[in-house]
A and B are shown apart, each in its own frame.
Chain A
Amino acid sequence: MKLAELTTSTAFRLAAVFACLFAAAVLLVFTILYVQVGRELEQRLAVRLASARAQFQRAHQRDGFNELSGLVADEVAAAGDYESVFLLDGADGDYVAGNVKGGPGFGEMRWVDSNQFVGLAGKVPAEQRYLTLGFTLAGDGSMLVGLSDAEIRRTREVLLRTFGWGLIATVLLAIGAGVFLGQRAQGQIDRVAHTLTAIRRGDLTARVPVDGGGGDIDVVSRQINGTLNQLQGLFESVNQSSADIAHDLKTPIGRLRQRLEGLRDSGGGAIDGHLPVIDTAIAEIDSIVATFEALLNITQIEAGARKTRFRSVDLAAVVGSVMEAYEAVAEDAGMRLELLPGGLAHALVFGDQDLLSQLLVNLIENAIRHCPQRTRIVVGLATTADGPVLSVADDGPGIPAIERDNVFRRLYRLEKSRTTPGSGLGLALVKAIVDLHDATIRLEDNYPGLRVSMTFPPAAAP
């Protein structure tokens, strides 16, 4: 299956929507987690700062300022790194102890960038921040305690990484599931489509395979198969009845013809001077039979069973042999039958050579019968992007634009009413053959005259 087909399949679209929904859900859950964990960790820092303040204040009250500065120095030495910062200033505001200088002053609890401290640059990451708490030491000076956000940042980093991988996994799983489901559904739909194509080509025995899983596509497949069974039965009974009609009507017609022939050959007609009457009667019978055959033929072609006999046919060869047969006929009728200058393109179509010959013959004969002398009939064969185009154009009287659309409709009515056959059946047959080949036919003005052009599907796609 091509990617373009995949992305248009219903299952794949659903999977894509679900993938987006899952990703959004994951994102929401993570955001909540991210914010909550951040807050919780911040809370803990605040608690630790408060207990540190209490600890230092107690030490100051119990042991005095000098002992406190010793304690701070010990803490600094014990910490070793700059995860915690301490600053102890004397009552005059001068530095007494601690691992940093400067800072934001001795205020309420607040977040401070590391670059606000003197002496931290290069020792800690630039983005590191500190939660600080300043307090005064009852007339002896001020103290600042700070805790870095390193743990919060590490936790956030782990969370982000987890989220990233989780998101990728979710999306990949959703896409994978979408492709799998899409291909499975598409496969089932393709099997239905192939069956219907085979039916259209005339293979009425084709059925959609049913895997028995009982899925909804199975249900549809069974319904399609049921319809096809009915269609095949109907088709066979129509075929059988037209064969029966052919047999039942043609037998008596045949007997009639035999009797007339017998009468003529025994000389009975000659005696009474009725010979021309008998000949006319036989000719009438032959014309009835010809109309009858034409109708049966059109019915048979429209039924589509001939598609099973389709082969690759070179339209150029068909045109060549028909031209050979009809150039002389046209000349005798005082007309000219020509090939469009530029020669014949080899144009392969998938079709039935006999019917394609008959198609071209009918069009040329139509032109010969309906056009006056000195008419020029031009047959053309060209290859276009849409496929081979076969055309028959004349410079005769043509068909008025308003009537051009009616030509086929009138033929259909004529065909149905089965009254006067005339030339109508010839074009009806042309239409039936064109339809059988999945070709399109157009009647155009040839300025002056009529131009009939037929576009065939290229043979590459049988």
Chain B
Amino acid sequence: MRILLVEDDHQTASYVAKGLTEEGHVVDTLSDGREGLLHATSEPYDLIIVDRMLPGLDGLGLVKTLRATGSKVPILILTSLGGVDDKVDGLEAGADDYVVKPFAFSELQARVNALARRPPMRSEESLLKAGDLEMDVMSRQVRRSGQLIDLQPREFRLLEVLLRNKGRVVTRTMLLERVWDFHFDPKTSVVETHISRLRTKVDKPFESELIVTVRGTGYTINEAR
């Protein structure tokens, strides 16, 4: 995947670029907002990662201008401003997601993967499968090995988010945002508690484990096991 990274802090830029290159991506790094916009409009990138505060043209301005040209390339904003306002500003400017600095690389990685490999029609798909598990989003039914599993609404949504990101890691923060619409960091283990409940219903009665914990990062659906 070809990624444009616009970040003026050199250490952060090389840290991110190195990590993403190790993942197999091709990363172009720029430190100036105007240059970044120029490249973003002239080259076919699969994803653009842009820092919110940049010399030349600020990150929000870059995103707004890029969107005004009709570009639909996925954009991820890196920001030091973690206030809810600042997050909303970024999304309203036209970005698809944001990561608040400082971040764990795994968080960035998970979000990059979620953005970049998102097939256009994915969210419309109503029959989700993983191994012997089947979820019908329309009739709101979940079966494993043909056996009907009764899930609470939030457990259903949690499993749905995991299934739609099958094969990718979904971080704890991503789950909080996408399942509960919580854009803040709770002090208690909301995600862990609900994952544990979900496992009791989805994994425990069966031989193999579908929901896998990725230590220090989040969860993933692993159908290979």
The answer on A and B forming one complex is yes
Chain A residues whose CB sits within 8 angstroms of the CB of B88 once the complex forms: 309
Q: With an 8 A cutoff between CB atoms, is A246 at the interface?
A: yes
Complex CA distance for A256 and B53, rounded to whole angstroms: 20
Question: Which B180-217 residues sit within 8 Å CB-CB of chain A?
Answer: 180-190, 193-194, 196-197, 216
Residues A357 and B187 in contact, CB atoms below 8 Å apart = no
Complex CA distance for A48 and B15, rounded to whole angstroms: 125
Q: Smallest CB–CB gap between A246 and chain B, Å?
A: 5
In the complex, residue of chain A having the shortest beta-carbon distance to the beta carbon of B182: A357
Q: List the count of A-B residue pairs having beta carbons below 8 Å apart.
A: 103
Question: Which A298-335 residues sit within 8 Å CB-CB of chain B?
Answer: 300, 305-306, 309, 321, 324-326, 328-329, 332-333
Question: Which A267-293 residues sit within 8 Å CB-CB of chain B?
Answer: 279, 282, 285, 289-290, 293
Residues A354 and B183 in contact, CB atoms below 8 Å apart = yes
Q: Smallest CB–CB gap between B188 and chain A, Å?
A: 5
Q: With an 8 A cutoff between CB atoms, is B11 at the interface?
A: yes
In the complex, residue of chain B having the shortest beta-carbon distance to the beta carbon of A300: B83
Residues B85 and A300 in contact, CB atoms below 8 Å apart = yes
Residues A261 and B187 in contact, CB atoms below 8 Å apart = no
Q: With an 8 A cutoff between CB atoms, is A361 at the interface?
A: yes
Segment from A33-41, A55-63, A247-255 that makes contact with B: A247-255
In the complex, residue of chain B having the shortest beta-carbon distance to the beta carbon of A361: B186
Residues A329 and B84 in contact, CB atoms below 8 Å apart = no
Residues B82 and A426 in contact, CB atoms below 8 Å apart = no
Complex A-B: 24 CB contacts under 8 Å: A243-B80, A246-B80, A254-B103, A255-B9, A257-B104, A258-B12, A258-B102, A261-B104, A282-B104, A289-B102, A293-B82, A297-B84, A300-B83, A300-B85, A324-B180, A325-B194, A333-B188, A354-B181, A354-B183, A357-B184, A358-B184, A365-B187, A365-B188, A368-B188
Chain A residues whose CB sits within 8 angstroms of the CB of B186 once the complex forms: 361, 365
Chain B residues whose CB sits within 8 angstroms of the CB of A293 once the complex forms: 82-83, 100, 185
Residues B83 and A354 in contact, CB atoms below 8 Å apart = no
Chain A residues whose CB sits within 8 angstroms of the CB of B72 once the complex forms: none
Chain B residues whose CB sits within 8 angstroms of the CB of A256 once the complex forms: 102
Q: Smallest CB–CB gap between A294 and chain B, Å?
A: 9
Given A257-B102, A355-B84, 7 new contacts (CB under 8 A): A246-B81, A255-B12, A296-B82, A300-B85, A333-B188, A361-B182, A368-B188
Q: With an 8 A cutoff between CB atoms, is A369 at the interface?
A: yes
Which of A254, A296, A309 makes the CB contact (< 8 A) with B12?
A254
Residues B189 and A329 in contact, CB atoms below 8 Å apart = yes
Q: With an 8 A cutoff between CB atoms, is B153 at the interface?
A: yes
Q: Smallest CB–CB gap between A230 and chain B, Å?
A: 23
Chain A residues whose CB sits within 8 angstroms of the CB of B81 once the complex forms: 243, 246-247, 296
